[in-house]
Amino acid sequence: MVATKGHGTQNDFVLLDDRDGTLVLVPARVRQLCERRAGVGADGVIRLVATEHVEDAPAAARAARWFMDYRNADGSVAQMCGNGVRVFAAYAQRLGLWDPVTGPLDVGTRAGLRTVAAVAPEVGDGPWFEVGMGPVTLPAGPGALADGGDAHVDVAGLSVTRPGLSVDVGNPHTVVVLADGADLARADLTTAPGVVPVPPEGTNVELVVPLGEEVGPDGRPRGHVRMRVHERGVGETRSCGTGAVAAAAAVRAWGGPQAPDVWLVDVPGGTVRVTLRADGHAELAGPALLVAELDVDLAALPA
């Protein structure tokens, strides 16, 4: 089977064209594809499939012709991936299933419908896409802000337990603000941070350092943060799109009503832009690159 390798700010994926829904993605097969020595190597697997063939597609996603079936590197099913959906759009364009000139692409996900459009690059090389990420909420409500957060987070390499704020971006996140880049560098994300209480489906943990505000091209102020992330089912990755949205939303919530609506989020793999709208929804913009096509011997992988 022909597979495509792509990434969004170095959050990398194996993409599979399964329009007719005949490919069975068992966890062992996903793990082998993502294995960086015995497989192709990736943070996750994205299967492009017609939405009509996805039995567990939510009702809100069924308006889309194409569905992004996303699996974490450990084989578990994920609701959404902000970097992945941009790479999915680039893949659909490569396959001739979408032309950005004709308008945005609707993508079905387990978190609902997501809409992708081509936009001008903010920084760096390669095409940029912007995704309507849907609603962003604080599950613990505004009261958690007064308490500094709704979770306690222990991170290897950091001696003190830190408060964390839960953010829902269609998948669960816990955001921790650190004092400076030295703390961020000291954090050891080779093991999962301990989060208490841990959400029922686990959580992604973002460590964030605010970098202040700057003036954007439109003359309006925007925020700037640096982030590292430990993704559930994967480990530390070079980037996480939903995590960037969660980080921006948390820092803005902590900052109060005068905090900017637009944020640049620096991750080890590059920079993305998050726009937090007045209606509670968010938009995520960033690069998406397809870097290779390769023949995968599915028979050599676990069935």
CATH number at residue 28: 3.10.310.10
Average pLDDT of the chain, as a whole number: 95
User: What backbone phi and psi angles, to 5 degrees, belong to 250?
Assistant: -70, -45
List, in order, residues 6 or more apart from 1 with CB less than 8 Å away. Answer: 16, 23, 295, 296, 298
Residues 127 and 157 both lie in one domain: no
- Count the domains in the chain: 2
**Rounded average pLDDT over 4-32:** 96
Average pLDDT over residues 91-118: 97
Give the Cα separation of 167 and 164 in Å (integer): 10
Alpha-carbon distance of 94 to 5, in angstroms, equals: 12
SS3 state at 155: coil
| Size of the chain, expressed as the number of residues it contains | 303
At residue 32's C-alpha, the angle toward residues 28 and 33, to 5°, is: 120
Q: Looking at the structure, do residues 126 and 177 belong to the same domain, yes or no?
A: no
Q: In terms of domains, do 162 and 38 share one?
A: no
Q: Are 91 and 155 in a shared domain? A: no
Residues 201 and 154 in one domain: yes
What is the SS3 string spanning 225-243?
EEEEEEECCCEEECCCHHH
Identify which has the larger pLDDT, 226 or 299: 226
Contact 107, 114 (CB under 8 A): yes
- On the question of pLDDT at 303 being above 80, the answer is no
- Burial pattern 198-219, b for ≥16 Cβ within 10 A else e, equals ebeebbbbbbbbbbeeeeeeee
Active site residues: 81, 240
Strands 11-17 and 44-50: parallel
Q: What is the mean pLDDT of residues 88-97?
A: 98
Residue type, 302: P
Two structure tokens written together for 87 = 């790479």
Q: Does one domain contain both 199 and 223?
A: yes
Q: Based on the domain organization, do 157 and 194 belong to the same domain?
A: yes
Written as one letter, the residue type at 38 is A
Residue numbers of the domain that contains 63: 2-134+288-300
pLDDT tens readout for residues 160-206: 999 999 999 999 999 999 999 999 999 999 999 999 998 888 999 99
Same domain? For 292 and 167 the reply is: no
Q: What would the mean pLDDT of 11-28 be, rounded to a whole number?
A: 96
Most confident of 29-38, 89-98, 292-301: 89-98
Residues 66 and 124 in one domain: yes
Alpha carbon 84 to its chain's center = 7
Asked if residue 126 and residue 61 are part of one domain, the reply reads yes
Read off the pLDDT of residues 116-170 as tens digits, 9 standing for 90 and up: 999 999 887 679 999 999 999 999 998 899 888 999 999 999 999 999 999 999 9
Q: pLDDT tens across 234-275, in order?
A: 999 999 999 999 999 999 999 998 999 999 999 999 999 999
| pLDDT tens, position by position, 44-66 | 999 999 999 999 999 999 999 99
Q: Are residues 110 and 224 in the same domain?
A: no
Q: Are residues 275 and 295 both part of a single domain?
A: no
